[in-house]
Amino acid sequence: MDIFAAIQSSLDIKEVDIRTYSPLTLAFIGDCVYDLVIRSMLVGEGNMQVNKLHKQKADIVKAPAQAEFVEAIMDELTEDELSVYMRGRNAHTATKAKNASFTDYHKATGFEAMLGYLYLTHEQDRILQLIKLGLERTWNREQR
């Protein structure tokens, strides 16, 4: 059982039609999913100071890094994933990241929307597959 299914079952959350969700709602949960996967990866590499973990995590999850990440995996996205990404990228947001360009922020929002969509459709394996591929294509482990 994936984590969302377990949460739904334990907390008696009803199944919803996520096609009715705004891309920004999908990005809201997708941001958390990506953050959790990256934090899990970093913690899994061994015990270290929390401030070092935080800096490494921030370097990977910041909007410019996510923009580079999604560009690196774009050719691997399905039609549905690409559609959700585009909806998220094109969504009108009231804010922007303080250290990101308008373009990078919107690409990151699209990426997070796609992850949120996959999470809410119980596609945990696909999330991990895409994140692993993106890390292989963008993140040099020797940078850490």
Catalytic site residues? 31
Query: Helix or strand or coil: residue 94?
Result: coil
Taking the C-alpha atoms of residue 97 and residue 107, their distance in angstroms, rounded to an integer, is 12
> What 8-state DSSP symbol labels residue 1?
-
117: alpha, beta or left? (left if phi > 0; alpha if psi -120 to 50): alpha
The residue type of 13 is I
Residue 129: closest CA among 65, 81, 79, 62: 81
Question: How many CA atoms, within 13 angstroms, populate the side-chain half-sphere of residue 83?
Answer: 6
Taking the C-alpha atoms of residue 116 and residue 125, their distance in angstroms, rounded to an integer, is 13
